[in-house]
Amino acid sequence: MTIRILELAKKLNVSTDDLLAVCTLLEIPATSPISCLTIEHIYKLTNYYCRIDNDTLKKH
């Protein structure tokens, strides 16, 4: 199964530019909104955003 950057960005409620920047941070090879992500990439990205949400909740 694969999913495109733009589809995952919509599901995560983030911009495609933001998601592509995180891909760069996580060394995931994605260069455009139509780049496809593997299951492993999707897992890394969703974990990254979940961790940020949890850190934000802990501060409040």
Contacts of 7 (CB under 8 A, 6+ apart): none
Nearest CA among 27, 31, 21, 55 for reference residue 41: 27
pLDDT in tens, the chain (60 residues): 899 999 999 999 999 999 999 999 999 999 999 999 999 999 999 999 988 765 555 555
Domain ranges of the chain: 3-59
For the structural domain made of 3-59, what CATH number should be given?
1.10.10
For position 19, what pLDDT does the model report? 97
Please give the pLDDT value at position 51. 84
Per-residue pLDDT of 50-60, as tens digits, reads 887 655 555 55
Q: DSSP string of 3-22?
A: EEHHHHHHHHT--HHHHHHH
Q: Which two tokens stand for residue 41?
A: 């990439």
